A and B are shown apart, each in its own frame.
Chain A
Amino acid sequence: MAGVLAILEQRDGVLKKVSYEVVTAARSLADRLGTGVDAIAIGPMALDATSATTFGAEEVVILADDRLTLYQPHLYLRAVVERAKAKDYGAILLSATALGKDLGPRLAARLGCPLAADVAEIEVNDGIVVSRPVYAGKAVCRAKVTAPCCVISLRPNSVTPVEQPRTATLHHAVLGLDSDRPVARTAAMKAPAEAKLDVAEAPIVVSGGRGLKEPGNFTLLEELAHALGAAAVGASRAAVDAGWRPHGDQVGQTGKTVSPGLYFAIGISGAIQHLAGMRTAKVIVAINKDKDAPIFKVADYGIVGDLFEIVPRLTQEIKKLKAGA
């Protein structure tokens, strides 16, 4: 059986958590197929990809060049295509991040193989079978790969990274001349003054809706997120459409579908398109003044009442808990 290739993603030369998720999924798939795992890491000179071996890669190709600090679609694509053509993989895995959602389809087109996007689960059952949420999570589609190779983008947070160290070979590849074809080039990355977690990747998401009443009140959620630690602030469509929050923070069918370990829905009634986007969260907490709000039907824990009284108290208690821990 042809091997499995894991495409790793970095930021400022450091592998992102989603990269370990991808290697872990690749390892698990390869074990069931009885084959091996290679990984490819593309990034700046300072790129450190050795940790990929900790999660089960046997061979790591490292392409480190300062022209690759930012995501350059044509160069990243060329590097992966070259590797894929040399080794003839049965499956190529990457994370369904902004990068993966762009690179995955390009790669599938170049290799002429199917793409299974935003996959939550991979089975081996007389071939590769993927399960992916569709209709923003209102349904799950199980599909069988009928081609000899496939590209699979893995939904962030759907796999827990597992350490399974391997003695691996590291190859340093060299980036050739840049393309003279007309291409799109990433000129800059505008980062906010304070680094902020994305709702799709954060282990904890604190979301607010119309119940927050005005945009300034989102500071209450920001304070709660800050107290919790690795948390991002999300928003319902109502809050985004009102112009209270950027659309990049929207959770739901026309926003992001998220699977964090812990999700707070605060002042969100739970419209069907919102529930679709967050129902795969492991634990859901709802705070709402209406005890009949649909959000309580999917929540594991709920508090009925005035969020303006409850949230500050919650922030205070979390701070106490963290200080004691």
Chain B
Amino acid sequence: MKIAVCIKRVPDTETRIKIAADGRSIDESGIKFVLNPYDEYAVEEALRRKEAAGSGEVVVIALGSDVVQETIRTALAMGVDRGVLLKTDQRVADPLVTARALVAELQTGGYDLILFGKLAIDDYHHAVGPMVAEFLGLPCVSAVVRLELGDGKGTAEREVEGGVEVVEFPLPAVLTADKGLNEPRYPALKGIMAAKKKPLEVKPVTLEPGGLEVLQLALPPERKPGRIVGEGPDAVPALIEALRAEAKVL
């Protein structure tokens, strides 16, 4: 089984965001960058599927500048066989641009499965996986929490508002992983050592122009300071009164 996983380098969830001097990006100084948490589920799933099949290859592909090599090495340390960096220093605002760049790399790969995280926790687009699937003309299930693969086909479950959709699809297919699909492994020391020797190919790419231009990145407006209405259960009537008369939400 040949599996590609498309991954992204993002600021850690505990990061406090500061805006850079250009007013259109974040100040990256002092930020810890990690493999996008949803991509970890995708990498883990790929490794398990390869292990279950007993043979095959797992390849990670990422778009970005040279620093992204570190993120690729994290995936290699988890057990991925090789990595590809589509190298560009351009910032991408339009997910369609990312999808097109990945498609150029993916379409000749002969993959049985192409996996993504359901979203990247920086730009929150939820978009690149389904876009790539449409460009490649492949079946796609997004936000997968359960997966069964059989002979040339699979069944996936995705959580939707008020239920779970059960989706059947033939292979090859594109899937995006949601939290709950599996419990990602931590890279072991042996894996980290081995990752240093695994192939990581760097391919410079030129991106097509996108249809979105970032005008401004700003911190959200501060919430108005609130107040403690009291202590213990005796404060409940005061809270209800405030919600009813002041906030008018009850």
Contact = CB atoms under 8 A, between A and B. Distances in A.
What size tier do the contact residues of chain A reach? Answer: 35 or more
B226 A106 contact: no
Interface string B10-38: 01011111010000001000000000011
A267 B227 CA distance: 17
Contacts, number: 289
Contact of A105 (B37, B128, B166): B128
Nearest to A107: B134
Contacts of B232: 303-306, 309-310
Contacts of B135: 109
B44 to A, nearest CB: 15
Contact of B220 (A113, A246, A253, A280): A280
B131 A98 contact: no
Contacts of A301: 226-229, 239, 242-243, 247
A302 B163 contact: no
B53 interface: no
Contacts of A96: 126
Interface in A124-147: 129, 132-147
B249 A282 contact: yes
Contact of B217 (A115, A141, A201, A271): A141
A118 B226 contact: no
A291 B158 CA distance: 39
B96 A115 contact: yes
Contacts of A117: 95, 124-127
Interface in B175-222: 178-180, 210-220
A140 B214 CA distance: 11
A73 interface: yes
Contact of B126 (A101, A186, A313): A101
Given A105-B128, A105-B131, A139-B218, A305 B228 contact: no
A109 B218 contact: no
Interface string B153-189: 0011111111111111110010000111000000000
The bracket for how many chain B residues form the interface is 35 or more
Interface of A: 11, 70-71, 73, 77, 96-99, 101-102, 104-106, 108-110, 112-118, 129, 132-147, 150, 181-192, 195-198, 200-201, 240, 246-248, 250, 253-255, 257, 261-262, 271-273, 279-280, 282-285, 291, 296, 298-306, 309-310, 312-314, 317-318, 321
14 contacts: A101-B142, A105-B126, A105-B131, A109-B132, A146-B212, A186-B165, A187-B166, A240-B179, A262-B249, A296-B228, A303-B232, A310-B233, A310-B236, A321-B250
- Which 5 residue pairs of A and B lie closest in terms of their CB atoms, listed nearest first? A147-B211, A114-B211, A198-B161, A98-B160, A109-B134
Interface of B: 11, 13-17, 19, 26, 37-38, 93-96, 99, 121-135, 137-143, 145, 155-170, 173, 178-180, 210-220, 223-224, 226-233, 235-237, 239-240, 242-244, 247, 249-250
